[in-house]
Structure 1
Amino acid sequence: MNLYDDVKFIKGVGPKFEEKLNKCGIFNALDLLLYFPRDYDYIEDNMSIESIDENEKIILTCRVCGIGKTYRTNTRKLLSQIIFTYNDVTVVGKWFNSPYVVKSFKDNETYNLLGKFKRIGNRIEVINPQIVNKECVTRNIVPIYPLKGDLTSKSISKIINNVFNEISIEENLPAKILKKYNLCSLEDAIKEIHFPSSKVSLQRSIQRLKFQELFNYSMKLLILKDKFKHNNSGIAFKISDELALLKEKLPFTLTKAQSKVVREILIDEKKHVPMNRLVQGDVGSGKTIVAIIAMFNVYKNGYQSVMMAPTEILAMQHYEEVKKILSPFDVDIELLTGSTSAKEKKRIKEKIRLDMPVIVVGTHAVIQEDVVFGKLGMAVTDEQHRFGVQQRNRITSSNNKADVLVMTATPIPRTLALYLYSDLDISIIDELPPGRKRIITEYFREQSRDDAYKKVHSELQGGRQAYIVCPLIEEDTDKKLNSVESLYNELSQGILSNFKVEIMHGKLKPKEKDEIITRFKNKEIDVLISTTVIEVGVNVPNASCMVIENSERFGLAQLHQLRGRVGRGKYQSYCFLIANIKSKTTQRRMEIMTESTDGFYISEQDFKLRGTGEMFGFRQHGDSGLLLADFIEDIDILKAAFKEAGVLLSSEAEEIKKLCMSLEKSLVKSSRFICFN
């Protein structure tokens, strides 16, 4: 069997099973091997009553001694109960909203129950336990896979085992590196992550795979950097005489930081080597105008530019700003997004195929296969971490002469940026436009949250608007977190009942989200309760305050990004953080947010706090290609992997060169950074 063989060729996979796997993004044997468990059950079998830990799942072999009736609780849930005995102790099994479960049990029969058992007085209780078979009982660590439909972790484990019976995995790191960092083989790592033999071996496998990911990530970036370095076939643009006139006609004066970055970009544009530059700038620092100036110069040289944004609403904002800034000049500007009409798409695609200058602003729609630029001179991607290396390169793959400008408002610690963006030259806009009022940030403990909403009420009475952000869409009783829906019910019927309140979340269709944002911008909505979908790009100058519920659940970088949605107009703005503070670290994080609005300072503080084991900071998104590693938490692995990748690529040894070539081919084929030769 080949790793790239279709899943239908795996023993035990029929047409229906294949369809279910496809829905999980599993199309071949490699996809299956890289479909890692999201968690594990660490199971102890038939423990003594005294050693039961209610936070850990265990298996108890219990005998049924009574089957109770199913009835409705005060909260309208269906409750089914079965009474068991275990070593002469009464065990009460409770199942909610599962009336059919009682049919699975027979009086006086013995069953292996898997669950979290809790001692209450002289008896034991367990909620929604599973019946497990003897095969499961023999395994102490059981993988839990991310599932869709009626797939089960057991069925996935079974076919993964069938794949291991058919293939062997070739090692793709030199023995010297494995020995130096005490890493297990790639084959052992893949096997152990799916079928752990012990906690120690599982940790070793995860360590190896994290190293593999970050090593391959580093390899890819260093190879890209080398290619750019030796690519002398770029376009050497002239500096247009009209640039001075454009700067004169701007409705504001560029800051010193903006002017410095513009100079760096224009110097790059004059070179024969294609530009590959990252512009880091805090929220509201004016990155977009820098990109517009760069694209304007390319346009005046007779070339095309494309600016790609992660969302339609942000693409529309950029399009409107580009049109406004360049309105005194005769510049052809187009907007291409997923909701552009078929007729318009056809017209725009036909236009950009021609050898004619144009500035195109769009979303992922501009990197589809049927979008071909006839004379691309510059590609600008906004919010870098939402696209990742893969998509960044797709836009220039057939236009390798084009300059690349990447913009991000995510302040990344300088130490980390050296590794994450080693293929890019970095420019930093570390200055906000003059006159911008500092956002006043306060944090409130959970018991004082009413005080925060009184302040919101005051702002709304003054004609302003407000955002309220929470971590969940629907109520989750287990986690005790506020949700969009529960807050809407509480606030729209309570303290904010005199105002128009609306909700927005990630489950809505893009068009629905855009309509809500448009209504919010047009002041048809006073309060927008949302999940973090408003994190990027939404610009509503009249919105002067934000409440972030359960602030302890967000990383500092994300809190800073969210806060950046207010303070974009002439009004004094506020950010109120409501947090369940249970540790000094959480309190310190809230204090950092109140101390500073400087994203770079916050990112450095975030970086210093990373060792506490809590979830902080910059988080890569799904399109980064990383499955296990985390840039912040695994910075030490990243440093080591980056160093070893550099050593390998500079090696003259024939064996190492062959290994590098093989790895490079695998990286080209794969969208992930764990790949096999």
Structure 2
Amino acid sequence: MELKKLKISDKKIEILQQLHITQVEDLLTYYPFRYESIEELSRDTWKKDDRIAVEGVIVSKARVIRFKGKQSVTRFKIVYEEEEFDISLFNRPWVSMFTPGKKITIMGKYDGGNRITAISYNFQPLQEQMGTFPVYNLKDGITQKDIRKYIEKAWMICQSDIKEFLPEELRQKYRLITRKEALYFIHHPSSKETIRQSLRYLKYEEFLRFQLVMRACKAKEKKTIQGHAKQFDNEDVWELEHTLPFSLTLDQKKVIQEILDDLKSESIMYRMLQGDVGCGKTLVAAFGMYGCVLSHKQAAMMAPTEILAKQHAQNLKNTFKDFEVEIEVLYSSLKAAEKKDILERLRNNEIDILVGTHALFQEDVEFYDLGMVVADEQHRFGVMQRRALLEKGDKVDFLLMSATPIPRTLAISLYGDMDVSTIQSLPKGRAGVETKLVQSRSMKDILPFVLEKIDEGNQCYVVCPAIEKNEDYEMRNVEDIYQGMKQSLGRRYRIALLHGKMSAQEKDEVMASFSAGESDILVSTTVIEVGVDVANANLMVIYDAHRFGLSQIHQLRGRVGRGTKPGYCFLLSDTKDKNSLERLKICEKTSDGFEIARYDLQLRGPGDILGNRQSGVPGFLLGDVVADANILEVAREDALSILKNIENEHYKNIKEYIEETLEHAGYFD
């Protein structure tokens, strides 16, 4: 139903659309992000910093103290329960409003010593305002009063059409209220208990919808693509192990076997391989691609940047140097003649493995018989690009590699449409990275150590959160740091600059030069996060480290210490925020990517992980995949049970919902 039905102005409708409210029904699922309780606490229970609500009488003239700009504080006294209190009200310099003898209701913070800082005030009796109220996220131009009024109107119109989604037996089993009650009480709570019961229902329903669609997605894929099992001998693939100069870890061996079993199965492989930075995922993928080649099919490997594509191709050539496997690399800046030659050989089945960037998606790229695609760091590729590549073959098996590890049980629940393989152990012989938090804005304290290491033949990354100066945000930027370093160190050290506004070719040239040891210090933004192995890059300095997520810092420091020498990562931050410092100390303490991902999930929520899930698949508005992991797991089991009996008349509405959602969902994303 259109929002105009609620008699809302076009201007307000525009703002609501920015909040993703496009239909009247959307207002009912626009949930509060917190609740405010207005209650009168007994005076003898007040403690410093408590939120309080009082109704008193003004007993002194108000006076205004002005600061710089338009800032001010208005001060006056009130009597409440026969005690006098000093009230401070910021940036509301309206003296005439606060005349002695007038009754006033104040909501604010108790500062101790009979002092109250008012957050809001009005002249209505406190008794009429008590209760628990929803608070919504807003945009300029819409107030809490507006949004509550619109939700109230939407409720009046839609309440008779609200249908129950959950099967009655599940609602009874978990003692859940009805959908209609949940949607009413989430916006009109009569007590904390009604909020709790609403959240129990809505979170479970949200997770169940998600799991039903994900599981149905998987079942649909398994059903539709059969009869193309790849034929090869496992022993031939394992021959590759004997040529390696090191031993595979047990995790690597287990995952290789899982991939080989997938390739040989009748169903399409859609597997996510997750593991910490530097755990040897690419080598594991090479074993899978070799199985594909032995079954007389071609394999493709996607990399997000040209330089990374070249690195993967070179590593694969080294891995297969004793085998007859033809490997090529395709990228946009190739000369026309070279590109033409590669495309011709690809069509004629003279290339076994093709590594490439987005150039692989172009229409003129034709495979003789594509059988497997490996995507490195899946979040760097869009849904349409991946689909374009998968359509270049018949029964193309798909392996996604992610260096953002999450706990296995959670991964299985979140990536319900994929099989999940995990590599937890790192290869032996890695020197590792020592991380140190430096509570400062500058490199002054660590500069002697950094320069000493550079003099020993090491290279250094210097990472900044911004490209250029920004008036609104006080953060270090690559332009300033680069210029500053050029001035102070440029005579003695070779300093290079890298950031996202450069063209792909410029970025690759800078990175190739750094890889070749032609520069000592690379000042960069996070574009190095999905990165190239530079054997001598064993130092990293991250400016304003508190502005990065933990997993992002972990990805960044994964660029150093990749050889036999130890790596050093310095986190510079002058923040006074306790939580931010706590987060950075976690990076200092542990180098386990799984542990860091767990902390990051708790601190920042699953946004980073779920940011690239299927388009059209239901997401989570209320459910928290960490705090509510048990509900997510229960919903997964219930979804599997429902799907087994989906033809039952009893599940007719759920079947219709799944079919409608699958029709609009972009599968690979």
Q: TM over 0.5, yes or no?
A: yes
Greater CA deviation, 78-87 or 650-659? Answer: 650-659
Aligned to 2:220: 227
| In 1: Cα distance, 2:308 partner to 2:372 partner | 20
Aligned to 1:155: 146
Aligned to 1:621: 610
1:18, distance to aligned residue in structure 2 (A): 3.1
Aligned mate of 2:72, from 68, 73, 80? 80
| In 2: Cα distance, 1:121 partner to 1:617 partner | 43
| In 1: Cα distance, 2:258 partner to 2:10 partner | 56
| In 2: Cα distance, 1:430 partner to 1:409 partner | 11
Structure 2, gaps ≥5 residues long: 614-618
| In 2: Cα distance, 1:157 partner to 1:113 partner | 22
Q: Is the 1:62–1:84 Cα contact (8 Å) retained in structure 2?
A: no
Do the aligned partners of residues 385 and 239 (structure 1) sit closer, same or farther apart at CA in structure 2, a change above 3 Å counting? same
Do the aligned partners of residues 191 and 451 (structure 1) sit closer, same or farther apart at CA in structure 2, a change above 3 Å counting? farther
Q: Is the 2:313–2:327 Cα contact (8 Å) retained in structure 1?
A: no
Aligned mate of 1:526, from 521, 525, 535? 521
Q: Show CA shifts across 1:438-464 (max 9, x none).
A: 223456789999866664454455553
Indicate the SS of the match to 2:6. Answer: coil
Aligned to 1:630: 624
- Residues 1:119 and 2:119 are matched in the alignment: no
Aligned to 2:49: 54
1:249, distance to aligned residue in structure 2 (A): 13
Aligned to 1:285: 279
Q: Is the 2:467–2:477 Cα contact (8 Å) retained in structure 1?
A: no
Aligned to 1:17: 12
Structure 1, gaps ≥5 residues long: 2-6, 96-100, 673-677
Aligned to 1:185: 178
- Matched residue type, 1:12: K
| In 1: Cα distance, 2:471 partner to 2:114 partner | 30
- Matched residue type, 1:89: F
Q: Is the 2:106–2:118 Cα contact (8 Å) retained in structure 1?
A: no
1:165, distance to aligned residue in structure 2 (A): 2.3
Aligned to 1:215: 208
Q: Show CA shifts across 1:501-536 (max 9, x none).
A: 9999xxx96658996797577456836476x77654
Aligned to 1:675: none
| In 2: Cα distance, 1:165 partner to 1:548 partner | 54
Aligned to 2:64: 68
Do the aligned partners of residues 199 and 440 (structure 1) sit closer, same or farther apart at CA in structure 2, a change above 3 Å counting? same
- Residues 1:321 and 2:312 are matched in the alignment: yes
Indicate the SS of the match to 1:173. Answer: coil
Q: Is the 1:211–1:638 Cα contact (8 Å) retained in structure 2?
A: yes
Aligned to 1:98: none
1:484, distance to aligned residue in structure 2 (A): 3.6
Q: Show CA shifts across 1:616-661 (max 9, x none).
A: 9996333443333233222211222222222222237823442441
Q: Is the 2:217–2:662 Cα contact (8 Å) retained in structure 1?
A: no
Q: Is the 1:235–1:269 Cα contact (8 Å) retained in structure 2?
A: no
Do the aligned partners of residues 178 and 376 (structure 1) sit closer, same or farther apart at CA in structure 2, a change above 3 Å counting? farther
1:185, distance to aligned residue in structure 2 (A): 2.3
| In 1: Cα distance, 2:177 partner to 2:129 partner | 27
Greater CA deviation, 58-67 or 432-441? Answer: 58-67
Aligned to 1:485: 476
Do the aligned partners of residues 460 and 468 (structure 1) sit closer, same or farther apart at CA in structure 2, a change above 3 Å counting? farther
Q: Is the 1:236–1:271 Cα contact (8 Å) retained in structure 2?
A: yes
Indicate the SS of the match to 1:565. Answer: coil
Do the aligned partners of residues 610 and 432 (structure 1) sit closer, same or farther apart at CA in structure 2, a change above 3 Å counting? closer
Indicate the SS of the match to 1:401. Answer: strand
1:573, distance to aligned residue in structure 2 (A): 0.3
| In 1: Cα distance, 2:373 partner to 2:40 partner | 62
Question: Could you tell me the percent identity over the aligned residues?
Answer: 27
- Residues 1:93 and 2:89 are matched in the alignment: yes
Q: Is the 2:105–2:125 Cα contact (8 Å) retained in structure 1?
A: no
1:287, distance to aligned residue in structure 2 (A): 1.9
Aligned to 1:643: 637
| In 1: Cα distance, 2:657 partner to 2:559 partner | 42
Indicate the SS of the match to 2:219. Answer: helix
1:68, distance to aligned residue in structure 2 (A): 2.6
Q: Is the 2:435–2:587 Cα contact (8 Å) retained in structure 1?
A: no
1:283, distance to aligned residue in structure 2 (A): 0.9
Q: Show CA shifts across 1:26-71 (max 9, x none).
A: 433455444433x325242676766376364758788694353643
Aligned to 2:408: 414
- Matched residue type, 1:125: T
Indicate the SS of the match to 1:140. Answer: strand
Indicate the SS of the match to 1:638. Answer: helix
Aligned to 1:4: none
Indicate the SS of the match to 1:288. Answer: helix
Greater CA deviation, 44-53 or 18-27? Answer: 44-53
Residues 342-381 of structure 1: pairs in structure 2 closer than 5 A: 359=354, 361-362=356-357, 377-381=371-375
Aligned to 2:192: 199
Q: Show CA shifts across 1:361-396 (max 9, x none).
A: 456x99999999997643434445788999988986
Do the aligned partners of residues 490 and 291 (structure 1) sit closer, same or farther apart at CA in structure 2, a change above 3 Å counting? closer
Normalising by structure 2, report the TM-score: 0.71
| In 1: Cα distance, 2:399 partner to 2:61 partner | 70
Q: Is the 2:500–2:527 Cα contact (8 Å) retained in structure 1?
A: no
Residues 459-538 of structure 1: pairs in structure 2 closer than 5 A: 459-460=453-454, 462=456, 463-467=458-462, 484-485=475-476, 498=489, 519=510, 522-523=513-514, 526=521, 528=523, 535-537=529-531
Indicate the SS of the match to 1:544. Answer: strand
Q: Show CA shifts across 1:479-518 (max 9, x none).
A: xxx9743999899989x964799999xxx96658996797
- Residues 1:274 and 2:268 are matched in the alignment: yes
Indicate the SS of the match to 1:172. Answer: coil
| In 2: Cα distance, 1:597 partner to 1:465 partner | 19
Greater CA deviation, 283-292 or 256-265? Answer: 256-265
Q: Is the 1:220–1:664 Cα contact (8 Å) retained in structure 2?
A: yes
- Matched residue type, 1:18: I
Indicate the SS of the match to 1:166. Answer: helix
Kindly tell me the number of residue pairs found equivalent between the two proteins: 629
- Matched residue type, 2:643: L
Normalising by structure 1, report the TM-score: 0.70
Indicate the SS of the match to 2:476. Answer: helix
- Residues 1:437 and 2:427 are matched in the alignment: no
Indicate the SS of the match to 1:170. Answer: coil
Do the aligned partners of residues 616 and 660 (structure 1) sit closer, same or farther apart at CA in structure 2, a change above 3 Å counting? closer
- Matched residue type, 1:236: A
| In 1: Cα distance, 2:610 partner to 2:451 partner | 35
Q: Show CA shifts across 1:574-615 (max 9, x none).
A: 23468999999x989958964x64545x47xx76x899x866
Q: Show CA shifts across 1:262-302 (max 9, x none).
A: 45434432433212222233211232344356457657878
- Residues 1:567 and 2:561 are matched in the alignment: yes
Q: Is the 2:167–2:651 Cα contact (8 Å) retained in structure 1?
A: no
Aligned to 2:34: 40
| In 1: Cα distance, 2:393 partner to 2:654 partner | 25
| In 2: Cα distance, 1:194 partner to 1:237 partner | 55
| In 1: Cα distance, 2:52 partner to 2:465 partner | 30
Q: Show CA shifts across 1:178-228 (max 9, x none).
A: 222232322333333344333332233223222222222322333234334
